[in-house]
Amino acid sequence: MKNTFVCLLFITFYFVSYAQKTTETYTLQQLQARFKHKNYTEKALLDFQKTMKNLRVKPQLNEDIPGEVISWYTLNGEFSWHKTYLVLNDKVKEVETLPKADTFLKKLNSYVPEKSKFSFNSDLWSFAFVEKKLKDNYYLIKATTKSFNSYPEIPNDDILSFDLEYKTKDFKIFKLVRLKDIHTKEWIEVGEY
């Protein structure tokens, strides 16, 4: 009985310590070597470093728009994360890159058959990366999404996967620019809202 208790205590301790295990994040020097633009002050990079402190794996770093938009992501199965940050005036601000407004979804769904509607379910969207800054100060974002399927275990021809390009000025309001089925090369330009 005593041995069983000790064994259970050891197993519990092991799993609790493993569950709380986090990985080392990037040092300031590593971040300075990766992000060289003058907008990335020491304070901004230290703030960016803090956003990664409780992760289980060391994330991949991405400089979406040099001097303005940086991000990190992990590809670790159930713990896949993607966070994007705007760097302005020595500050790092987390921004949203996936749209959430019904007007965006309505516009997207107007281009697909009735049986193949898209939703904002997070597991149906890829990570969205800021591709470039347009001349009109909009940020162009790319993502891939899959239409909703209420029976994912059953193959269905009505399930579509689309590459999307959309733009935003404030990372709050997003406008669909163009879309294409991932199995084609031809983009569909989106009309006015």
- The three-state DSSP-derived secondary structure of 102-142 is HHHHHHHHCCCCHHHCCCCCHHHECCCEEEEECCCCCEEEE
Cα distances from 111 to residues 98, 114, 122, 141, 191, in angstroms, run: 19, 9, 21, 19, 10
Closest CA to 85 of 133, 111, 49: 49
Residue carrying the six token digits 């205590």: 9
Computed over every residue of the chain, the mean pLDDT equals 85
Q: Are 142 and 148 in contact (CB under 8 A)?
A: no
Amino acid letter, 28: L
Going by pLDDT thresholds of 50, 70 and 90, the confidence category of residue 41 is very high
Count of CB atoms situated within 10 Å of the CB of 30:
13
Instruction: Decide if pLDDT at 152 tops 90.
Output: no
d(CA 110, CA 149): 17
What's the rounded mean pLDDT across residues 162-169? 96
Specify the DSSP class assigned to residue 78. G
d(CA 149, CA 160): 10
Higher pLDDT among residues 84 and 151, named by residue: 84
Instruction: Decide if pLDDT at 138 tops 90.
Output: yes
Instruction: Decide if pLDDT at 21 tops 70.
Output: no
Domains of the chain, residue spans: 21-95, 102-189
What's the rounded mean pLDDT across residues 83-98? 95
Q: What is the pLDDT of residue 75?
A: 85
Q: Are 69 and 43 in contact (CB under 8 A)?
A: no
- For residue 56, the cross-strand partners are none
d(CA 142, CA 98): 10
Residue carrying the six token digits 């904002």: 120
pLDDT tens per residue, range 49-67: 999 988 888 999 999 999 9
What's the rounded mean pLDDT across residues 120-124? 76
Instruction: Decide if pLDDT at 10 tops 50.
Output: no
Instruction: Burial-class residue 6 by CB neighbours within 10 Å (0-12, 13-18, 19+).
Output: exposed
